[in-house]
Amino acid sequence: MDKALLFTSLVIFPFGQIAKLGPISFLDVTVFLIVVYTLLRKPKIPSWYIYLLSFILFGFFSWGINVFILKSDLLVKGLMYGVRLLFYSMIPIFIYNFFKSQKDRKFIINSLLSISIVTAVFGWIQYINWPNLVALKYLGWDDHLYRLVGTFLDPTFTSIILVLGSIIALKENRKLSLIFLGISILFTYSRVSYLIFILLLIYFKKYLIVFLFLISIFFLPKNMGGEGVNLVRTSSTNLKIINYKETLKIITKSPVIGIGFNNLCPARQIYLNDTNITSHSCFGSDSSILFILATTGIVGLFLFISFIFSIPSYPLLTISFLIVLIHSTFANSLFYPWVMYWIFILLGLGSKVNRKG
């Protein structure tokens, strides 16, 4: 049963945002089943989990306090973000208890690389057949034109999945996979993903690939219309700066305990007079650290940093987590469900009991 649940979640993963019923994704449902299965088996809890749980529970505490301050119909929806984080946080416990052999770990790592490649394949299918996704703005998404967007409906989040897969390709010396993922990253036109991919290549001393990647950027199609393919675009940068300023303003309203996880959207309504609650970005921030500060305050940030220092030493996990942290400076990728799933899988693999044998 444990292997069937894991396999199902891995298969569902690359379908991203298109495998959803309303706000709930099929991956969410599978993770819920994993949590139920894990709890029924009375699992062993790794020592680091208390730090992560403390952060999550404080988020709920802050949410409860702010219920009496914000008073919005969106508070329940905000609470669901915390519930989802709690469920996803149990993925490493699932891996920790039921996938201990070297064979299991090898299967999981190969599967993560595979779903990253499938994500890229889906992205190319979209890029070739549906390059114009401007209509997505009517569904609350950003509109994109001639960018590799894929099933996650956002090139920034698609590209971080591709970069995470590239880490495995580099560690496992999968040259063809690395080349395919690298080319796919190029066509997302995501500048932050370019940056972290280059940093990753430098870390692994792949200087020739760095050179080829940089040269390739100059040959990318840039005359196909749309601001998104302009690599020196300033509009998205200006929007991020505005978003940072808005989040900082919200932080000042409750700097110690925050506004509650995740009450950003009702806070935008009340403190910023923002009426665009249908946008998928309403509950997010363009910086995960600012997001933590806004929703859980200084106390929450301290608890989260404590969790970071409790994470077990495991090279694949450490590199992946650092890459996500850098990426999350420009997008709230740290709390993106598919990124959480990936990192929590690695966290389970990196736990002490799983590194024996």
Assess whether pLDDT exceeds 90 at residue 206: yes
pLDDT interval class at 237 (50, 70, 90): confident
315-332 pLDDT, tens per residue? 999 999 999 999 999 999
Contact 7, 62 (CB under 8 A): no
249-258 pLDDT, tens per residue? 999 999 999 9
Residue 65: C-alpha distances to residues 51, 62, 248, 272 (Å): 21, 5, 20, 20
Could you tell me which residue, 139 or 328, shows the higher pLDDT?
A: 328
Residue with tokens 């984080």: 85
Beta strands in 22-143 (DSSP E): 24-25
- Measure the CA–CA gap between 74 and 265, rounded to whole angstroms: 7
Q: Is residue 320 part of a domain?
A: yes
Q: Is residue 285 part of a domain?
A: no
Q: Is residue 82 part of a domain?
A: yes
Q: Is residue 211 part of a domain?
A: yes
Q: Is residue 149 part of a domain?
A: yes
Counting the structural domains of the chain, the total is 1
Range scoring the smallest mean pLDDT among 37-46, 147-156, 263-272, 289-298 = 263-272
Q: Is residue 281 part of a domain?
A: no
Average pLDDT estimate for 221-234: 77
- Cβ neighbour number for residue 205 with a 10 Å cutoff: 10
Average pLDDT estimate for 160-173: 97
* CB neighbour list of residue 202: distance below 8 Å, 6 or more residues apart: 210
pLDDT interval class at 280 (50, 70, 90): low
Q: Is residue 75 part of a domain?
A: yes
- Measure the CA–CA gap between 220 and 206, rounded to whole angstroms: 21
Assess whether pLDDT exceeds 80 at residue 283: no
pLDDT interval class at 123 (50, 70, 90): very high
341-357 pLDDT, tens per residue? 999 999 999 986 444 43
Residue with tokens 């529970």: 57
Q: Is residue 279 part of a domain?
A: no
36-90 pLDDT, tens per residue? 999 999 999 999 999 999 999 999 999 999 988 887 778 888 899 999 999 999 9
Rg of the Cα atoms in the chain: 20
Query: Domain of 93?
Result: 2-234+299-355
- The reported pTM is 0.94
